[in-house]
Amino acid sequence: MSSVEQPTVLVVEDEPAQREVLAYNLEAEGFAIAKAENGEEALVLVDEAAPDIIVLDWMLPNVSGIEVCRRLKSRADTRNIPIIMLSARAEEVDRVRGLETGADDYVVKPYSVVELMARVRTQLRRTRPATVGERLEFEDIVLDAETHKVFRDTKSLKLGPTEFRLLSTFMEKPGRVWSREQLLDRVWGRDIYVDTRTVDVHIGRLRKALCQHGGEDPVRTVRGAGYALG
Ligand code: CA
């Protein structure tokens, strides 16, 4: 997969064979994988691995998939992570219950791997378009996540890899204010220790890069909060 970064998929499935097949196929498609075999582990991994999307089995021991979904959808910091529920039961009533928990999509077992991959991509196209190679636009700036190219007013811009990831993060949600910590998580990764001042340094480089052929600085500093594009 040619994209800005590997999106992380959290696979929650108690059946070892099904879990491994799913992880294997997602990995082959270029996704980074986190695996949980029950609901408790899933809830821990959501915080540790910061997944971009969750494929969640309905029938899990102890904390069910429905309960995991309900909890994640009621938390402000996890609400926007798309959840695709897997279920062995195709009845319409179950489908409705599944959607009432806030699940974003629903797949009945046995499912086709190709179809599931397509659904994962559909969700990511909505929430993390840069990770699936989409073309993003904001005013006169165009970022092509497939070719890793950025243009402003049709002129090609030179950007370092970190500035490219910063810009793609901003362009996925124009106007959203990102704190330095959120940018560190998203651009540098949660496992890596980087000082928040590093963010300021790269924001400075991004601003310079965006204005290399002229034009106004589109990055806004929000005092006490962080940065936003537009
Ligand atoms: Ca199961």
Q: Concatenate the DSSP letters of all residues of 21-71 into one string.
A: HHHHHHHHTT-EEEEESSHHHHHHHHHHH--SEEEEES--SSS-HHHHHHH
pLDDT, tens digit, 9 for 90 and up, residues 173-200: 999 999 999 999 889 877 778 898 999 9
Last residue of one domain, picked from the residues 81, 103, 130: 130
Last residue of one domain, picked from the residues 111, 130, 149: 130
pLDDT, tens digit, 9 for 90 and up, residues 48-68: 888 999 999 988 999 989 899
For the chain, how many structural domains are there in total? Answer: 2
Q: Cα(108) to centroid of ligand 1, in Å?
A: 12
128-137 mean pLDDT: 90
Residues 6+ apart with CB under 8 A from 84: 53, 54, 55, 56, 103, 104, 105, 106, 107, 116, 119, 120, 123
Q: Cα(37) to centroid of ligand 1, in Å?
A: 9
Q: Cα(14) to centroid of ligand 1, in Å?
A: 5
Q: Pairing relation of β-strands 53-57 and 8-12?
A: parallel
Residue 3 has pLDDT above 80, yes or no: no
pLDDT, tens digit, 9 for 90 and up, residues 4-44: 468 999 999 999 999 999 999 999 988 999 999 999 999 99
Identify the pLDDT of residue 1.
38
d(CA 31, CA 123): 14
177 and 90, same structural domain?
no
Q: Cα(113) to centroid of ligand 1, in Å?
A: 17
Identify the pLDDT of residue 99.
66
Q: What is the overall mean pLDDT for the chain?
A: 90
CA distances from 222 to 98, 123, 229 (A): 39, 30, 10
Last residue of one domain, picked from the residues 112, 130, 148: 130
Within a domain: residue 1? Answer: no
| Domain region containing 158 | 134-229
d(CA 34, CA 79): 18
Identify the pLDDT of residue 87.
86
* pLDDT tier at 161, thresholds 50, 70, 90: very high
- Phi, psi angles (nearest 5°) of residue 120: -60, -45
* pLDDT tier at 95, thresholds 50, 70, 90: low
Residue 110 has pLDDT above 90, yes or no: no
Cβ contacts of 183-186, under 8 Å, gap ≥ 24? 183/226, 183/227, 185/50
Give the domain CATH number at 106: 3.40.50.2300
139 and 191, same structural domain?
yes
d(CA 173, CA 74): 21
Q: Cα(210) to centroid of ligand 1, in Å?
A: 49
Identify the pLDDT of residue 137.
95
138 and 126, same structural domain?
no
184 and 72, same structural domain?
no
| Residues in the chain, total | 230
